[in-house]
Chains A and B, each alone.
Chain A
Amino acid sequence: MNKNNIIFTDSSRLLTESLAQAGADVFIGYPITPANLIYHYASQRFPQFMAAPDEITALQWMSGFAAAGHIPVTATSFPGYALMIESINMAYMMELPMVIVLVQRLGPATGTATRGAQGDIALLSGTISGGMAIPSFSISNPHDCWELSAKAVEVASKYRTPVVIFTSKEEVMTMFSIDKTGLAPVHRVERKFYSGDETYVPYKADEKLVSAFLPVSSNKHQVRFTASTHDTQGIIQNTAKEAIDNSKRLHYKITENLSDFTYFEYDKEEGATSLLLSFGITSQAAREAVENLRCQGKKVSLLIAKTLLPVPTAYYDICSRYKQLFIAEENLTGQYRQLLFGSMPPAHIHGINEFGKMISPATIIKAVLSHE
């Protein structure tokens, strides 16, 4: 560590700065604990900041900004996200780039606003009607906050889609010392708008299943955005094949390009027959547990999921190499475990869960050793 460049900060600050440097230029906020720090920092940092009167309005304003060529951001928690879901579907259907930071807290309902959790994986997975894929990145440490936030902007722009940054209270509100020279420069995303002379077809896809973007400020071509089932022209259709194919494309453009934004950490130990899988706030406890287990002579590998959804196939490939699989997540029912392996997983797959408190390394160690 360079001892002359240490700052004492928090991940809300890193996340906000990274988003801004990557080219997100509008923040629309409605305050909610524990996402308030991001709101606060964004009000200082973003070129445009608007305080919305509610979360539905926030997403609608964001969609308006996105339709006019910006990359907007908001940050919220479950109660706000629940209100936003229909509008996120709208933005998804219109193929509008934007970033939504979902800071998890303890539910259900208003729950405990000042207690962290990882209880919204099922909600996140089901955000888009039809179960369609929405890119979602999970933050596992401060450097992820820096790097994945910039990636979120890049993916939102490149694939014309809302992207969710998935985090939790303890991650964005805990202060830490960090060497700021370790924060790699963020590359600003270059937007590419349709520049052809031929008639612009708003939902005509290229070979990567992505359609060229043009804002509603265009003085050269007519632009159409619609949330209803539509053809390539953006004209509402019922269930005409072209329109249904277009809706399917929204899913496939994410899944077929997934390798372009698959991020994970695989700490493989030779000879290990156990794998610990975790993500988000539990990642640091998982890393510490693995260090301790290895000190005790227990061979164990670690997989930290950073691209949370859609699930990269690499996770299945890695998981299949181990006799024992432990999945640690701070929720009651093992949501990511169920999402990966169903509600009745094979006997070698074990959940490590807590509800209302962080999972400690000791809890993980105990669980892993109990299946020796």
Chain B
Amino acid sequence: MNRVYLHEGDLPFCLGCGHTLIAENVDKALQTLNLDPLDVILVTDIGCHGIIDKSFKTHTVHGLHGRSVALASGISLSLNNPDKKIIVFIGDGGATIGLQHLIDSAHRNFNMTVVLHNNMLYGMTGGQPSELTPLGFKTPTLPEGSTQKGFDMCEVVAAAGASYVCRLMGIGNIADQLAVALGKKGFSLVEVMELCPSYAVKSNPGMKLRQVVEEAGLGIRVYADRDYTGYETEVKTETPSLIDKEKVISCDFTSALKSPARIMISGSAGEGVQAAAEFFARAAIASGLNVTKKGSYPVTVGIGFSSSDIILSPEHILYTGSPSPDYMIITSQDGLDHSLSTIKNMQEGFIFLDESLPVPNTTVPVIRLGFRKLAGNKNAAIFSLLYLAIHQKLFPAEAMLQMLSQSKLAGKADWNALVTMLP
């Protein structure tokens, strides 16, 4: 059979190398499928097999060691077209570096066929053992023979959920078996067993490939043959602008604030501190102020402190840090613990502390108020900010009360009544 997908001439492999047999049989297998060479994308890994690109007339992509399956997955996901045949050539070294990619791509059944060139050692770097080197198999750097059993990649990939998995002996005509794999939808893997003529043969004189495979307990058989359809990439045709999704805040109120006010509120996770801060910020914006807000909390967002820095300013805000806030609100012990270092920085300003908490050591005035007692733990944060807006004349209380009345918090408390209960 003449070559169609391979150029004429010698292939770039050592005499007797199984890689030549694989390349020629892939050519034959593709001929049986009658594919246009430009409907085939060959993705090669690092290793001797990877220098085959120049010999193929298909599209070729040659990437990093171990990453060919992931790279091919990106192409497969992008083309989203089962008529485009994506083939990966990878060795046993690449397969173990990129084991995660093999498992993941098999699991998701990305449309591609992986041809695993398993010669049981690293040929390109001098014959070191791989994770697929069988027990007792000798290599130049392991003359006493491997003391561990290589693992069975077909079992792994079949267990991951591939459409089709088989292992072949790299001897004779394997085009028909390769064609079966290439014809499958979804993820298929063909492991072809080889002996490296440069390193395996010299290290294991007289050893035959069939004998190695048999003694390793590697089955020459089909491991998975499932009627899967393969992965389909979701493409959204219309996605709304993220900016248009943002609610425009109507500036219906005015603030008498003449200079920036830096506020820090600290409480406990789960008590609505961030939501309260955002609510407060939006009310300030509705009053014509410029506002920034940033949250701080442990990575375990559901427990511990929750803190927010807010800056209100009639002018444009540049620096958004608040090393020493003008107003510190603390609604819980978690919040107090978190705020102690900032309180030390405060030379002026005010601290509004829930009355249930001990007074920290500070030179600035501390005003103790019953945020938690009056509004409840869940509403203490928003109540405290409402209090701040009113009593420090940052912006009109109506801005916040109107927003509260239009929000899901409307029924959580009688906000108008609460406002009158504080001094």
Interface residues of A (CB under 8 A from B): 1, 3-9, 13-14, 16-17, 20-21, 26, 28, 33, 41, 44-48, 50, 53-54, 56-57, 60-70, 86-87, 90, 94, 113-114, 170, 173-177, 180, 183, 216-228, 234-236, 284-285, 287-288, 291, 357-358, 360-361
Contact = CB atoms under 8 A, between A and B. Distances in A.
A176 B241 CA distance: 18
Nearest to B252: A3
Q: Could you tell me the dominant secondary structure of chain A's interface residues?
A: mixed
Nearest to A17: B242
Given A20-B239, A57-B100, A13 B319 contact: no
B77 interface: yes
B155 interface: no
A181 B40 CA distance: 48
Interface string B238-254: 01111100111111000
Nearest to A218: B38
B319 A360 contact: yes
A357 B319 CA distance: 13
A224 B299 contact: no
B39 A56 contact: no
B417 interface: no
Contacts of A174: 292-294, 320
A220 B38 CA distance: 7
B243 A361 contact: no
A174 B308 CA distance: 10
B291 interface: yes
Contact of A64 (B73, B278, B323): B73
Q: Which 3 A-B pairs have the closest CB atoms?
A: A64-B74, A60-B70, A68-B78
Given A64-B75, A219-B39, A4 B292 contact: no
Contacts of A6: 248-249, 251, 285
A224 B53 contact: yes
A299 B39 CA distance: 66
Nearest to B104: A53
Contacts of A360: 319, 321, 323
A60 B292 contact: no
Interface of B: 36-39, 41, 51, 53-54, 57-64, 67, 70-79, 84, 100-101, 104, 233-237, 239-243, 246-251, 278, 281-282, 285, 288-299, 317-321, 323
A6 to B, nearest CB: 5
Contacts of B318: 284-285, 287-288, 291, 361
B74 A60 contact: yes
19 contacts: A1-B290, A57-B73, A62-B74, A63-B71, A67-B78, A114-B298, A175-B278, A175-B294, A176-B320, A177-B249, A219-B38, A220-B38, A224-B62, A225-B63, A236-B54, A284-B319, A358-B321, A360-B323, A361-B319
B236 A47 contact: yes
Contact of A17 (B70, B241, B296): B241
B53 A236 contact: yes
Given A9-B246, A63-B63, A70-B78, 18 more contacts: A6-B249, A9-B243, A17-B242, A44-B239, A48-B233, A57-B73, A60-B63, A60-B101, A61-B70, A64-B73, A173-B295, A180-B246, A180-B248, A216-B59, A224-B61, A234-B53, A284-B318, A291-B318
Contacts of A114: 296-299
Given A60-B70, A60-B73, A360-B319, A225 B61 contact: yes
